[in-house]
Amino acid sequence: MVKICCIGAGYVGGPTMAVIALKCPKIEVAVVDISVSRIAAWNGDQLPIYEPGLEDVVTQCRGRNLFFSTDIEKHVAEADIVFVSVNTPTKTQGLGAGKAADLTYWESAARMIANVSNSNKIVVEKSTVPVKTAEAIEKILTHNSREIKYQILSNPEFLAEGTAIQDLFNPDRVLIGGRETPEGQKAIQALKDVYAHWVPEDRIITTNLWSAELSKLAANAFLAQRISSVNAMSALCEATGADVTQVSHAIGKDTRIGPRFLNSSVGFGGSCFQKDILNLVYICECNGLTEVANYWKQVIKVNDYQKNRFVNRIVSSMFNTVSGKKIAILGFAFKKDTGDTRETPAIDVCKGLLGDKAKLSIYDPQVTEDQIQRDLSMKKFDWDHPIHLQPMSPPASKQVSVVWDAYQAAKDAHGVCILTEWDEFKTLDYQKIFDNMRKPAYIFDGRNILDVEKLREIGFIVYSIGKPLDPWHKDTLAVA
């Protein structure tokens, strides 16, 4: 029986290994982590992450061929294939701070593998890492090898949160990079055999190590670039009277462009896009490719511009001040169907409004008060580190209250902001919300999920990203 061990029981390690265990009943899969509480949650009734369909997969194979454990050394020692799916956040200090990937967690995992191994192993990079990381890992392993042979593979993960299980069941492609030696090719084949249990062979792509590592950064950069492109267009739409949803639809009909990933928004969030582009920028700079670095940097600049623009629009339309005004924030997660708040645009929007002394009442169906207070008190990039490695909760801010109901959030508010596209926000009773708000009552839809005309009929002053503006907004001060 092949034994797999995955180091890192997070958003990637947990779901990915659960699906491997489900699809390969003859493979024993152990997922290990330094976090005792995270492992306890994986073994309990309340899984540590919210992901549609995940619970069903875990309950089918947990205790059968899927195990969650903190006994890292034992499971690594026994494994034939070791996946490393630890976090690789942006460095916050020292060389490359604010751009380069922090490989501390990766390096400590690699050193631990070297220490405890007593049989040959395939070590798989599942985390997103800078191109050439495999070379560094190889050095750590071989310089501490005690005659043990290691093959390093790059097998980046392309799942998106909220759709992780369906992405894993039916991936567009699985990418495996390895050394172009007979041993390297044998290792690639061994990993291919695992995925071949459910992924059609023509969707399993094999490359050299560096292409696989770089493809992951490139894929995220291309996806994020699409969002910044449509968001840049949204600003022009507002200035000209065009409607960004109509423009997206029209350009998406071109089969060379395609319809997906063209939703204009308050900005992209999530733990991957910004971090991976910054990492890409850093690698370009280290290779003397300033123009290439500047090109990708612009994707992040436009994303920051979009978040600022949204805050400025709110403040300027409310007579240029939100001081002391209650503003309801509907949605805090970085997208729907997840409780993840890493790099969520809601953090920047809320901080912008708090900076103008607003009082916020926040509701998200999946994010706890503790998490929201922590996110709003942290410095940039600090929230990119795992929650259990973060300091204790800060004292709750008096300007922020967190409630468990959208109507309560909006009661007596001057404005409502939609920051996450949760389905339940589409079907709220907006007449009821309007009746209980201060007047004039504003709605700022940062996800373009609401029926603007209907809201205007109710009496709201409406701003929806990239849509033709109310005369009210046209008359208020020009925004940046």
Binding site for ligand NAD (CB under 6 A): 7-13, 33-35, 38, 72, 85-88, 105, 108-109, 127-128, 157, 159, 161, 271-272, 386
Q: How far is the CB of 345 from ligand NAD (least distance, A)?
A: 16
Instruction: Name the residue nearer to ligand NAD (CB basis): 105 or 296.
Output: 105
* Least distance (Å) between residue 16 CB and ligand NAD: 9
Shortest spacing between CB 173 and ligand NAD, in angstroms: 14
Q: Judged by CB under 6 A, does residue 237 bind ligand UDX?
A: no
Q: Minimum distance between the CB of residue 344 and ligand NAD, rounded to whole angstroms?
A: 13
Q: Is 284 a catalytic residue?
A: no
State which residue, 20 or 413, has the beta carbon closest to ligand UDX.
20
- Indicate the residue among 34 and 47 with the shorter CB distance to ligand NAD: 34
Per the rule left: phi > 0, alpha: psi between -120 and 50, beta: everything else, 205 is beta
The one of ligand UDX, ligand NAD, none whose footprint includes residue 13, by CB under 5 to 8 A per kind, is: ligand NAD
- Residue 442 contacts which entry, ligand UDX, ligand NAD, none (Cβ below 5-8 A, type-dependent): none
Q: 68 or 363: whose CB is closer to ligand NAD?
A: 68
225 binds, among ligand UDX, ligand NAD, none (CB under 5 to 8 A by kind): none
Asked if 161 interacts with ligand UDX (CB under 6 A), we say yes
Question: Which does residue 130 bind out of ligand UDX, ligand NAD, none, counting CB within 5 to 8 angstroms by kind?
Answer: none
Q: Which residue is nearest to ligand NAD (CB)?
A: 10
Select 236 or 389, whichever has its Cβ closest to ligand NAD: 389
Q: Is the peptide bond before 89 cis (omega within 30 degrees of 0)?
A: no
User: Choosing from 6, 237, 272, 284, which is the catalytic residue?
Assistant: 272
160 touches ligand UDX (CB under 6 A): yes
Contacted entry of ligand UDX, ligand NAD, none for residue 263, CB cut-off 5 to 8 Å set by kind: ligand UDX
- Residue 305, interface with ligand UDX (CB under 6 A)? no
- HEC string of the chain? CCEEEEECCCCCHHHHHHHHHHHCCCCEEEEECCCHHHHHHHHCCCCCCCCCCHHHHHHHHECCCEEEECCHHHHHHHCCEEEECCCCCECCCCCCCCCCECCHHHHHHHHHHHHHCCCCEEEEECCCCCCCHHHHHHHHHHHCCCCCCEEEEECCCCCCCCCHHHHHHCCCCEEEEECCCHHHHHHHHHHHHHHCCCCCHHHEEEEEHHHHHHHHHHHHHHHHHHHHHHHHHHHHHHHHCCCHHHHHHHHHCCCCCCCCCCCCCCCCCCCCHHHHHHHHHHHHHHCCCHHHHHHHHHHHHHHHHHHHHHHHHHHHHCCCCCCCCEEEEECCCCCCCCCCCCCCHHHHHHHHHHHCCCEEEEECCCCCHHHHHHHHHCCCCHHHCCHHHCCCCCCCCCCEEECCCHHHHHCCCCEEEECCCCHHHCCCCHHHHHHCCCCCCEEEECCCCCCHHHHHHHCCEEEECCCCCCHHHHHCCCCC
- Specify the residue, 87 or 371, whose C-beta has the smaller distance to ligand NAD: 87
Please identify which residue in 195, 332, 334, 430 interacts with ligand UDX, judged by CB under 6 A. Answer: 334
Q: Rule CB under 6 A: is residue 445 a binding residue for ligand UDX? A: no
Q: Which residue is nearest to ligand UDX (CB)?
A: 270
Our CB check for ligand UDX shows the closer of 273 and 383 to be 273
Q: Which residue numbers are catalytic?
A: 272
Residue ranges binding ligand UDX (CB under 6 A): 157-161, 220, 223, 227, 261-263, 265, 268-270, 272-273, 334-335
